[in-house]
Amino acid sequence: MGTDLVAESAEARRLFDLADQITGLPITRLCAEGPLERLTQTDAAQPAVVVTSLAALAVLRSHVDFAFDAVAGHSVGEYAAYAAAGVFDAETALRLVHARAQAMATACANVDGTMAAVIGLDESPLRQACLAASSNGSSVEIANFNAPGNLIVSGARAALERLTLTAKAAGARRVLPLNVGGPFHSMYMRPAADALADAVQQVAFRPASVPVVLNASAEVTQAEESLREELLVQLYSPVRWIEILHRLAGMGCDHFLEVGPGSVLSGLVRRTLQDVTAASFGSLADLEAATAVLAA
């Protein structure tokens, strides 16, 4: 992940070196060599995703002169989106993400929780299934509205086990456990928001240079205080990705470029919106397709 970016660009190398220094972890080596089990742990995964996104943006800008009309980021990707919109610089993004990852890892250590994808069930019946599965001091709730028919739930493991039965009884085709470090975007992350608050308050925010569509509300803002508050609220709130994409489309966006590792989000764009173009840029192999989207 990001290895060809590091080989290509001095700025990408600088960003990965910075991630290593800030976190005290071998992020560069983990991205290049693994092991996957270590890379996917919360304290490493979050800075790895963000630094790869920032490095990809730097490399892309070195190849193509472009501007964007709005930005959005999914979960921890919101930090890279803020940096892209000039809310703060790349170093600040990495320092905040490190603090976020530490706070979330601590919160996760205090609950046996996880997440799962629910395929083929709409929001209303899934909410009812979550309510039915939440009992005996453990709860589960919708965490990500990723695409129509693709919703993510998060909560205590015992409640998720009950949800597998209630969701299937309500008509879900599949309930797929996710390989994540804990119950992200659920009530169990409120302690992480409390722990992160000081770090967020100490950082200087600037107004965004372009509109940002927020995870927790799908509202559009460029205001410093709204952007600051979002980084705390999004920890325990669902990611409203379907609403975010429709909001962007309503603003006139019809070309979407995912900048960072993988192509999951560009796939969600194509599943959610009609008559739009979407591509991803996370490695040099993606440059031609990304350039075509930016030139359109």
Q: How do the domains of the chain map onto residue ranges?
A: 3-108+188-295, 112-181
Average pLDDT over residues 30-47: 95
**pLDDT band at residue 15 under the 50/70/90 scheme:** very high
**pLDDT band at residue 104 under the 50/70/90 scheme:** very high
* Residues near 209 by beta carbon (within 8 Å), at least 6 away in sequence: 85, 86, 222
State residue 296's pLDDT score. 81
74 is catalytic: no
Domain 112-181: CATH class, spelled out: alpha beta
Average pLDDT over residues 20-28: 98
For the domain 3-108+188-295, what is the CATH superfamily, name and number?
Malonyl-Coenzyme A Acyl Carrier Protein, domain 2 (3.40.366.10)
Instruction: Give the residue from 265, 257, 264 showing the smallest Cα distance to 281.
Output: 257
From the list 134, 139, 185, 186, the catalytic residue is 185
What are the pLDDT digits (tens) for 59-76? 999 999 999 999 999 999
From the list 63, 75, 209, 217, the catalytic residue is 75
**CA pair distance 210, 142, nearest whole angstrom:** 29
Average pLDDT over residues 170-178: 95
**Cis omega before residue 261 (within 30°)?**
no
Instruction: Give the residue from 203, 220, 206, 215 showing the smallest Cα distance to 87.
Output: 206
What are the pLDDT digits (tens) for 122-146? 999 999 999 999 998 999 999 999 9
Average pLDDT over residues 251-280: 97
* Residues near 35 by beta carbon (within 8 Å), at least 6 away in sequence: none
139 is catalytic: no
**pLDDT band at residue 34 under the 50/70/90 scheme:** very high
- Burial environment of residue 206 by CB neighbours within 10 A (0 to 12, 13 to 18, 19 or more): middle
Report residue 204: phi and psi, to 5°: -80, 120
Average pLDDT over residues 67-96: 98
Average pLDDT over residues 15-28: 98
Q: Is the pLDDT of residue 226 over 90?
A: yes
* Residues near 220 by beta carbon (within 8 Å), at least 6 away in sequence: 70, 211, 212, 213, 214, 247, 251
